[in-house]
């Protein structure tokens, strides 16, 4: 958390608010957040314009006018708030002209900011080996089936969350996608029927698009850059609803452990 819809929301909002702006200075309150020599980092971003903000998987990529990029991973509890109130959890502050600021909060302190040169960018993402972007035109049903064939013995929820399989999906949306498809999270890929694979693919596309439209899911620490919660929580069917009644059949939603994560599902609606 945040996952693809939340990071995509932040990316779009940042482009509206800071694209084209020049960074006057930066204040670093938590040195370990910045994976670069601190003095060099401050000098590198000073008086530099932000050309663009893009996204790959759950990463934000801030393109600077000096041929460097800031790679930002918000991890579990990171927040980027435009003109936000600085608190004890504010570990990085970017100062712009006209008294605008962008604060980077992180309660659990798992996030990071890396500096990558333009020449190093392709190598960086090649090493990360992210899977396809699920909302790109290149990610079609044919490709999805080909990817599944390589992971026949894997459990479907586990591979949906694997960033090397598909980029950007995590615990929230894997639960919701599998409920949409009527498939249990513990099912092995080799047991999936063709119509179930089609439903999972359809769920990936539809649920991620709707979650972006609703500005993401604020089940815990996520806020958009205006400090507002996303609006997808009322649409959640199973995620974090363990013990509650299924909206479709009134059965109790179950929660099980899968590896180090949890899976939520309806034992009647999902097979």
Establish whether 187 is a catalytic residue. Answer: no
- In whole angstroms, give the CA distance from residue 67 to residue 1: 29
Classify 136 in phi/psi space as left (phi over 0), alpha (psi -120 to 50) or beta.
Answer: beta
Question: Which member of 3, 6, 63, 176 is catalytic?
Answer: 3
Establish whether 58 is a catalytic residue. Answer: yes
List Cβ neighbours of 119 (8 Å cut-off, separation of 6 or more).
none
Q: How far is CA 88 from CA 92, 111, 137, 139, 228, in A?
A: 11, 16, 42, 42, 19
Q: Where do the H-state alpha helices sit in 18-118?
A: 38-45
Establish whether 134 is a catalytic residue. Answer: no
Question: Which member of 2, 5, 134, 185 is catalytic?
Answer: 2
- Residues 48 and 23 sit within 8 Å (Cβ to Cβ): yes
- In whole angstroms, give the CA distance from residue 30 to residue 171: 28
Establish whether 267 is a catalytic residue. Answer: no
Question: Which member of 11, 17, 55, 58 is catalytic?
Answer: 58
Residues annotated as part of the active site? 2-3, 58, 261
């Amino acid at each position: 958390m945040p996952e693809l819809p939340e990071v995509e929301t932040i990316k779009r909002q940042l482009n509206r608010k800071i694209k084209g702006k020049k960074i006057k200075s930066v204040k670093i309150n938590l040195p370990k957040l910045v994976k670069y020599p601190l003095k060099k980092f401050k000098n590198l971003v000073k008086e530099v314009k932000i050309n663009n903000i893009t996204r790959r998987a759950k990463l934000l990529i801030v393109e600077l006018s000096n041929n460097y990029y800031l790679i930002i991973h918000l991890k579990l509890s990171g927040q980027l708030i435009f003109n936000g109130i600085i608190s004890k959890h504010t570990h990085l502050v970017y100062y712009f002209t006209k008294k605008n600021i962008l604060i980077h909060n992180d309660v659990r302190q798992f996030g990071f900011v890396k500096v990558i040169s333009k020449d190093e960018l392709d190598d960086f993402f090649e090493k990360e080996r992210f899977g396809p972007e699920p909302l790109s035109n290149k990610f079609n049903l044919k490709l999805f089936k080909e990817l599944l064939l390589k992971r026949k013995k894997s459990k479907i929820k586990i591979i949906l969350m694997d960033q090397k399989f598909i980029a950007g999906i995590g615990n929230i949306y894997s639960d919701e996608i599998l409920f949409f498809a009527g498939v249990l999270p513990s099912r092995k890929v080799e047991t999936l029927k063709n119509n179930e694979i089609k439903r999972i693919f359809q769920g990936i596309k539809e649920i991620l698009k709707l979650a972006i439209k609703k500005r993401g899911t604020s089940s815990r620490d996520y806020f958009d850059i205006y400090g507002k919660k996303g609006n997808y929580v009322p649409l959640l069917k199973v995620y974090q609803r363990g013990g509650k009644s299924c909206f479709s059949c009134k059965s109790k939603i179950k929660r099980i452990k899968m590896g180090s994560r949890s899976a939520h599902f309806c034992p009647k609606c999902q097979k």
